[in-house]
């Protein structure tokens, strides 16, 4: 029996959530879909009483933009490169961390540090580490007197200095910096989850494997990885979702120009595309909405694919 007084109370408690969700979540979903399918929609125009015909012109425009293709390419590249690297590294670190006792807590704390940072702020630190400094820059041989700390370290190993992030740097140099930064940033969460998973694996499986003379490598691939497969799937799926929403890390390193000086926009991402269209001098909400819907479809599809694959692969 549900008494009506309780009902009334429940709805009262839920009213803030319901109202806010309706206004800031449900309505935006409907509205975004609506304006994505209104040709040439702009908020200014809408407010000015313009009417728009229904159609897919926004989508056509988005796909025809060279900018959009760059964003799509960057986003996909960053995601498919950083997710495997960070997952594998995190797995390796977690397994090593799980096998030691001394310094365990301290290292665990250190590894988690990048999580509690401001993505933009530390992006700026990465930019300084990779950037070239000093008066020699711009000269005949700009690297002789100045190269920036990362180049100095690489120099010790005999690697020629690279222009990583400054004006005139190459696309792949920029991408390399972004990959390093994104992996650095993504590790803490993955290590935390995988370490938690490892600690919940019954130790007897490892004892059994040890008695059977299983090598470390084989134990890792035949026991640890299958046992961790649910956590790995989780980490990879969230990694993909995060990767497709990459934006502020690029802003951190390169600023809102989304690329080194002189070649702005070369590192723009999908979310960057949406935001650029929203924040520009002439905001184009129609285009942004179409872009957002495309992003949603991609994320949804990739997530579904991931879940499908992991269902086949994840044991349990």
Partner 1 sequence: MTNLLSLSSAGAGWLLALMIVCILAEVGVIVWLILRQREEARAKTSGNGVMHERNIENVKKTQKVVKFLVKVLIYLFLVAVAVSVLFPFYWMIISSLKSYNEYALEGEFASRVTPTFFPHKVMWSNYAEAFKTANLGTLFLNTVFVGIVSTILSLVITVLAAFAFARLEFRGKNALFAALLATMMIPGELFTITNYGTVTNILNWGNTYTALIVPFLVSVFYIYLLRQNFMQIPNELYYAAKVDGTSDLKYLWKVMVPLALPTIISITILKMMGSWNSYIWPRLVANDELHQLITNGLRDTDFAVYLADGSRDADKINYPVQMAAVTLVSIPLFLVFIFLRKYIMKGVSRSGLKG
Partner 2 sequence: MKVVLQELTKIFPSRTKKGQEVVAVNKFDFEIPDGKLVGLLGPSGCGKSTTLYMICGLQKPSSGKIFFGEDDVTSLAPEYRGVGLVFQNYALYPHMTVKQNILFPLQNFKGADRLSKSEMLERAYNVAKLVQIDELMDRKPNELSGGQQQRVAIARALVKMPRVLLLDEPLSNLDARLRLQTREEIKRIQRETGITTVFVTHDQEEAMSISDIIVVMKLGIVQQIGKPQSVYDDPVNLFVAKFLGTPPINVFQGTVKGGRLYIGEDNVLATPDVEDQEVFVGIRPEGFIYDKNGPLHCNLRNVEVMGRDVSIVSTSDASLNPTIRSIVDADNKIDTENQTVSFSLKPHKVFIFNKETEERIRFGNTASPAEVKE
In angstroms, rounded to a whole number, what is the distance separating the alpha carbons of residues 76 and 62? Answer: 17
In angstroms, rounded to a whole number, what is the distance separating the alpha carbons of residues 92 and 111? Answer: 13
135 or 202: whose CB is closer to partner 2? 202
- Minimum distance between the CB of residue 53 and partner 1, rounded to whole angstroms? 20
- Minimum distance between the CB of residue 207 and partner 2, rounded to whole angstroms? 5
- The 8-class DSSP code of residue 165 comes to S
- Minimum distance between the CB of residue 231 and partner 1, rounded to whole angstroms? 10
Cβ atoms 235, 87 nearer than 8 A: yes
**Interface characters, 192-231, with partner 2 (x: CB under 8 A):** ----------x-xx-xxxxxxxxx--x---xx--xx-x--
Q: Taking CB within 5 to 8 Å according to partner kind, which of partner 2, partner 1, none is near residue 222? A: partner 2
In angstroms, rounded to a whole number, what is the distance separating the alpha carbons of residues 285 and 275? Answer: 10
**What is the sign, positive or negative, of the torsion defined by CA atoms of 212, 215, 219, 221?**
negative
108 or 214: whose CB is closer to partner 2? 214
- Minimum distance between the CB of residue 213 and partner 2, rounded to whole angstroms? 3
User: Counting Cβ atoms within 10 Å, is residue 77 exposed (0-12), middle (13-18) or buried (19+)?
Assistant: middle
Q: Taking CB within 5 to 8 Å according to partner kind, which of partner 2, partner 1, none is near residue 87? A: none
174 or 289: whose CB is closer to partner 1? 289
Helices (H) and strands (E) in the chain, counts: 15, 0
- Give how far the C-alpha of residue 50 lies from the chain's centroid of Cα atoms, to the nearest Å: 38
178 or 271: whose CB is closer to partner 1? 271
Cα end-to-end distance, the chain, whole Å: 39
Tokens encoding 93: 């670190």
In angstroms, rounded to a whole number, what is the distance separating the alpha carbons of residues 186 and 239? Answer: 8
Q: Taking CB within 5 to 8 Å according to partner kind, which of partner 2, partner 1, none is near residue 117? A: partner 1
- Minimum distance between the CB of residue 239 and partner 2, rounded to whole angstroms? 22
Count of residues binding partner 2 (CB under 8 A)? 20
Q: Taking CB within 5 to 8 Å according to partner kind, which of partner 1, partner 2, none is near residue 129? A: partner 1
Positions 230 through 289 that interact with partner 2 (CB under 8 A): none
Q: Taking CB within 5 to 8 Å according to partner kind, which of partner 1, partner 2, none is near residue 233? A: none
- Minimum distance between the CB of residue 60 and partner 1, rounded to whole angstroms? 19
Looking up tokens 């800031």 gives 24
In angstroms, rounded to a whole number, what is the distance separating the alpha carbons of residues 174 and 172? Answer: 5
Q: Taking CB within 5 to 8 Å according to partner kind, which of partner 2, partner 1, none is near residue 68? A: none
Q: Taking CB within 5 to 8 Å according to partner kind, which of partner 2, partner 1, none is near residue 145? A: partner 1
Alpha-carbon distances of 91 from 202, 225, 299, rounded to whole Å: 18, 9, 24
Residues of this chain that interact with partner 2 (CB under 8 A) are 202, 204-205, 207-215, 218, 222-223, 226-227, 229, 315-316
């Amino acid at each position: 029996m549900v008494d009506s007084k309780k009902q009334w109370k429940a709805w009262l408690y839920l009213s803030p959530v319901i109202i806010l969700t309706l206004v800031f979540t449900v309505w935006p979903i409907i509205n975004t879909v609506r304006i994505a399918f209104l040709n040439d929609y702009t908020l200014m125009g809408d407010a000015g009483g313009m009417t728009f015909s229904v159609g897919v012109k926004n989508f056509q425009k988005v796909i025809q933009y060279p900018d959009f293709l760059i964003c799509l390419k960057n986003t996909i590249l960053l995601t498919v490169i950083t997710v495997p690297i960070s997952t594998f590294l995190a797995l390796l670190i977690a397994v090593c961390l799980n096998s030691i006792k001394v310094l365990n807590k301290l290292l665990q704390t250190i590894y988690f540090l990048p999580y509690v940072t401001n993505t933009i702020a530390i992006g700026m630190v990465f930019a300084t580490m990779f950037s070239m400094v000093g008066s020699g820059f711009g000269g005949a041989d700009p690297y002789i007197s100045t190269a920036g700390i990362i180049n100095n370290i690489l120099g010790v190993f005999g690697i020629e200095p690279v222009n990583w992030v400054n004006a005139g740097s190459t696309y792949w140099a920029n991408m390399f910096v972004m990959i390093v930064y994104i992996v650095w940033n993504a590790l803490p969460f993955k290590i935390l989850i995988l370490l938690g998973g490892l600690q919940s694996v019954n130790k007897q499986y490892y004892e059994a494997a040890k008695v059977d003379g299983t090598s470390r490598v084989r134990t890792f691939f035949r026991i640890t990885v299958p046992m961790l497969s649910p956590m790995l799937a989780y980490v990879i799926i969230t990694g993909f979702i995060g990767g497709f929403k990459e934006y502020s890390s690029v802003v951190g390193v390169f600023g809102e120009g989304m690329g080194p000086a002189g070649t702005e926009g070369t590192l723009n991402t999908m979310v960057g595309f949406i935001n650029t269209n929203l924040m520009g001098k002439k905001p184009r909400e129609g285009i942004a909405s179409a872009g957002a819907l495309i992003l949603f479809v991609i994320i949804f599809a990739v997530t579904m694919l991931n879940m499908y694959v992991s269902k086949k692969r994840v044991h349990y």
